[in-house]
Amino acid sequence: MKKMGLLPMIEASFFAAFALILDLLPSIKVSPSISISFAMVPIFIVAFRWGFKVALASGFLWGLLQVAVGDIYFLSPVQFVIEYFIAFAFIGFAGLFYQVIQKCVKNGDKKNLMIWIVIATFIGSVARYFWHFVAGFVFWGEYAPEGQSPMVYSLIVNGSTMLGAFVLCSIVLAILLSTSSRLIQTKNHYSAMDKKAS
Protein backbone atom coordinates (compact mmCIF):
# COMPACT_ATOMS: atom_id res chain seq x y z
CA MET A 1 0.00 0.00 0.00
CA LYS A 2 1.30 3.47 -0.95
CA LYS A 3 2.23 5.64 2.01
CA MET A 4 0.38 8.93 2.45
CA GLY A 5 2.51 11.95 1.56
CA LEU A 6 3.35 14.59 4.15
CA LEU A 7 1.33 17.38 2.49
CA PRO A 8 -1.95 15.39 2.26
CA MET A 9 -1.43 14.31 5.89
CA ILE A 10 -0.99 17.90 7.03
CA GLU A 11 -4.05 18.97 5.03
CA ALA A 12 -6.15 16.10 6.41
CA SER A 13 -5.33 17.36 9.92
CA PHE A 14 -5.82 21.05 9.13
CA PHE A 15 -9.20 20.53 7.46
CA ALA A 16 -10.35 18.20 10.26
CA ALA A 17 -9.61 20.99 12.77
CA PHE A 18 -11.39 23.46 10.50
CA ALA A 19 -14.49 21.22 10.41
CA LEU A 20 -14.44 21.01 14.21
CA ILE A 21 -14.43 24.81 14.44
CA LEU A 22 -17.20 25.22 11.83
CA ASP A 23 -19.27 22.75 13.86
CA LEU A 24 -19.09 25.15 16.83
CA LEU A 25 -20.83 27.89 14.83
CA PRO A 26 -24.58 28.17 15.29
CA SER A 27 -26.40 25.78 12.98
CA ILE A 28 -29.91 25.89 11.56
CA LYS A 29 -32.09 24.26 14.22
CA VAL A 30 -35.12 22.63 12.58
CA SER A 31 -36.12 20.69 15.72
CA PRO A 32 -34.26 19.68 18.91
CA SER A 33 -32.82 16.62 17.14
CA ILE A 34 -32.41 18.10 13.64
CA SER A 35 -29.76 20.76 13.14
CA ILE A 36 -28.23 21.56 9.81
CA SER A 37 -24.69 22.82 9.32
CA PHE A 38 -22.05 23.03 6.61
CA ALA A 39 -19.23 21.74 8.85
CA MET A 40 -18.53 18.85 6.44
CA VAL A 41 -17.28 21.29 3.75
CA PRO A 42 -13.56 21.06 4.77
CA ILE A 43 -13.66 17.25 4.54
CA PHE A 44 -15.23 17.50 1.07
CA ILE A 45 -12.43 19.85 0.03
CA VAL A 46 -9.90 17.22 1.17
CA ALA A 47 -11.85 14.60 -0.81
CA PHE A 48 -11.69 16.70 -3.99
CA ARG A 49 -8.01 17.61 -3.47
CA TRP A 50 -6.62 14.21 -2.47
CA GLY A 51 -9.22 11.48 -2.90
CA PHE A 52 -10.82 8.73 -0.87
CA LYS A 53 -8.07 7.59 1.52
CA VAL A 54 -6.97 11.05 2.68
CA ALA A 55 -10.59 12.20 3.08
CA LEU A 56 -11.37 9.05 5.08
CA ALA A 57 -8.42 9.90 7.37
CA SER A 58 -9.55 13.53 7.67
CA GLY A 59 -13.15 12.59 8.55
CA PHE A 60 -11.86 10.07 11.09
CA LEU A 61 -9.64 12.75 12.64
CA TRP A 62 -12.58 15.17 12.86
CA GLY A 63 -14.50 12.51 14.83
CA LEU A 64 -11.48 11.98 17.06
CA LEU A 65 -11.18 15.75 17.72
CA GLN A 66 -14.89 15.92 18.45
CA VAL A 67 -14.35 13.23 21.09
CA ALA A 68 -11.24 15.01 22.41
CA VAL A 69 -13.14 18.25 23.01
CA GLY A 70 -15.95 16.25 24.61
CA ASP A 71 -18.67 17.44 22.23
CA ILE A 72 -20.39 14.04 21.99
CA TYR A 73 -23.47 12.00 22.78
CA PHE A 74 -22.53 8.71 24.44
CA LEU A 75 -25.25 6.07 24.82
CA SER A 76 -23.10 2.92 24.49
CA PRO A 77 -19.61 1.99 23.28
CA VAL A 78 -20.92 0.57 19.98
CA GLN A 79 -23.09 3.66 19.33
CA PHE A 80 -20.09 5.87 20.14
CA VAL A 81 -17.77 4.06 17.72
CA ILE A 82 -20.39 4.01 14.95
CA GLU A 83 -21.32 7.70 15.26
CA TYR A 84 -17.94 9.27 15.96
CA PHE A 85 -15.44 7.10 14.10
CA ILE A 86 -17.19 5.15 11.36
CA ALA A 87 -19.78 7.79 10.36
CA PHE A 88 -17.32 10.72 10.25
CA ALA A 89 -14.73 8.68 8.32
CA PHE A 90 -17.37 7.69 5.75
CA ILE A 91 -17.67 11.34 4.57
CA GLY A 92 -14.49 10.33 2.73
CA PHE A 93 -16.61 8.40 0.22
CA ALA A 94 -16.97 11.75 -1.57
CA GLY A 95 -13.33 11.14 -2.55
CA LEU A 96 -14.37 8.33 -4.91
CA PHE A 97 -15.08 11.13 -7.41
CA TYR A 98 -11.62 12.65 -7.06
CA GLN A 99 -10.42 11.66 -10.53
CA VAL A 100 -13.40 12.92 -12.48
CA ILE A 101 -13.44 16.15 -10.44
CA GLN A 102 -9.74 16.76 -11.05
CA LYS A 103 -10.26 16.12 -14.77
CA CYS A 104 -13.03 18.75 -14.89
CA VAL A 105 -10.76 21.29 -13.14
CA LYS A 106 -7.91 20.56 -15.54
CA ASN A 107 -10.14 20.89 -18.60
CA GLY A 108 -11.91 24.00 -17.36
CA ASP A 109 -15.23 22.16 -17.57
CA LYS A 110 -17.14 24.22 -15.01
CA LYS A 111 -20.57 22.75 -15.70
CA ASN A 112 -19.49 19.14 -15.17
CA LEU A 113 -17.37 20.19 -12.20
CA MET A 114 -20.50 21.53 -10.47
CA ILE A 115 -22.46 18.37 -11.33
CA TRP A 116 -19.77 16.04 -9.94
CA ILE A 117 -19.28 18.16 -6.83
CA VAL A 118 -22.98 17.87 -6.05
CA ILE A 119 -22.94 14.10 -6.72
CA ALA A 120 -19.82 13.57 -4.57
CA THR A 121 -21.26 15.73 -1.77
CA PHE A 122 -24.45 13.67 -1.89
CA ILE A 123 -22.58 10.34 -1.70
CA GLY A 124 -20.39 11.57 1.20
CA SER A 125 -23.45 12.85 3.08
CA VAL A 126 -25.43 9.63 2.52
CA ALA A 127 -22.40 7.51 3.54
CA ARG A 128 -22.11 9.42 6.84
CA TYR A 129 -25.80 9.65 7.71
CA PHE A 130 -26.43 6.01 6.83
CA TRP A 131 -24.48 5.21 10.03
CA HIS A 132 -26.35 7.82 12.09
CA PHE A 133 -29.55 6.25 10.74
CA VAL A 134 -28.39 2.77 11.85
CA ALA A 135 -27.34 4.09 15.28
CA GLY A 136 -30.61 6.02 15.37
CA PHE A 137 -32.94 3.06 15.23
CA VAL A 138 -30.74 0.73 17.28
CA PHE A 139 -29.82 3.16 20.10
CA TRP A 140 -32.03 6.27 19.90
CA GLY A 141 -35.36 4.49 19.44
CA GLU A 142 -36.66 5.41 22.89
CA TYR A 143 -36.76 9.06 21.83
CA ALA A 144 -39.28 8.28 19.07
CA PRO A 145 -42.69 9.90 19.54
CA GLU A 146 -45.51 7.64 20.82
CA GLY A 147 -46.59 5.19 18.15
CA GLN A 148 -43.69 5.85 15.76
CA SER A 149 -41.33 2.98 15.02
CA PRO A 150 -37.63 3.58 15.78
CA MET A 151 -36.82 2.89 12.13
CA VAL A 152 -39.23 5.57 10.81
CA TYR A 153 -38.13 8.00 13.55
CA SER A 154 -34.46 7.56 12.67
CA LEU A 155 -35.17 7.85 8.95
CA ILE A 156 -37.04 11.13 9.47
CA VAL A 157 -34.45 12.66 11.83
CA ASN A 158 -31.30 11.51 10.05
CA GLY A 159 -32.76 11.65 6.54
CA SER A 160 -33.78 15.28 6.91
CA THR A 161 -30.50 16.24 8.65
CA MET A 162 -28.62 14.57 5.81
CA LEU A 163 -30.65 16.32 3.10
CA GLY A 164 -30.25 19.71 4.78
CA ALA A 165 -26.51 19.28 5.26
CA PHE A 166 -26.12 18.01 1.69
CA VAL A 167 -27.97 21.03 0.24
CA LEU A 168 -26.08 23.53 2.43
CA CYS A 169 -22.67 21.96 1.71
CA SER A 170 -23.44 21.80 -2.03
CA ILE A 171 -24.36 25.49 -2.10
CA VAL A 172 -21.23 26.52 -0.16
CA LEU A 173 -18.96 24.30 -2.28
CA ALA A 174 -20.57 25.42 -5.56
CA ILE A 175 -20.08 29.11 -4.67
CA LEU A 176 -16.55 28.50 -3.39
CA LEU A 177 -15.38 26.36 -6.30
CA SER A 178 -17.13 28.18 -9.13
CA THR A 179 -15.29 31.34 -8.14
CA SER A 180 -11.95 29.71 -7.31
CA SER A 181 -11.38 26.20 -8.58
CA ARG A 182 -7.74 26.72 -7.47
CA LEU A 183 -8.93 25.64 -4.03
CA ILE A 184 -9.07 22.04 -5.17
CA GLN A 185 -6.01 22.17 -7.40
CA THR A 186 -2.98 20.36 -6.01
CA LYS A 187 -0.89 20.40 -9.18
CA ASN A 188 0.98 23.58 -9.91
CA HIS A 189 -0.65 24.41 -13.24
CA TYR A 190 -3.13 27.04 -14.26
CA SER A 191 -6.34 25.35 -15.25
CA ALA A 192 -8.24 26.26 -18.39
CA MET A 193 -10.97 27.48 -16.03
CA ASP A 194 -8.79 30.10 -14.37
CA LYS A 195 -7.48 31.25 -17.75
CA LYS A 196 -11.04 31.76 -18.90
CA ALA A 197 -11.80 33.71 -15.74
CA SER A 198 -8.86 36.07 -16.12
Binding site for ligand 218 (CB under 6 A): 33, 73, 83, 132, 135-136, 140, 153-154, 157-158, 161
Nearest-angstrom CA–CA distance, 186 and 3: 18
Nearest approach in angstroms of CB 170 to ligand 218 is 19
- Closer to ligand 218 by Cβ: residue 54 or 86: 86
Nearest approach in angstroms of CB 107 to ligand 218 is 37
- Phi/psi for 144 (5° steps) reads -65, 140
- Closer to ligand 218 by Cβ: residue 82 or 176: 82
Amino acid at site 72 = I
* Nearest residue to 83 via CA among 37, 124, 136, 45: 136
Nearest approach in angstroms of CB 119 to ligand 218 is 22
- Closer to ligand 218 by Cβ: residue 97 or 131: 131
Nearest approach in angstroms of CB 70 to ligand 218 is 12
- Closer to ligand 218 by Cβ: residue 8 or 136: 136
C-beta of residue 23 within 8 angstroms of C-beta of residue 48: no
Contacts of 92 (CB under 8 A, 6+ apart): 43, 47, 52, 53, 54, 55, 56, 57, 58, 59, 60, 124, 127
Which residue's Cβ lies closest to ligand 218?
Answer: 136
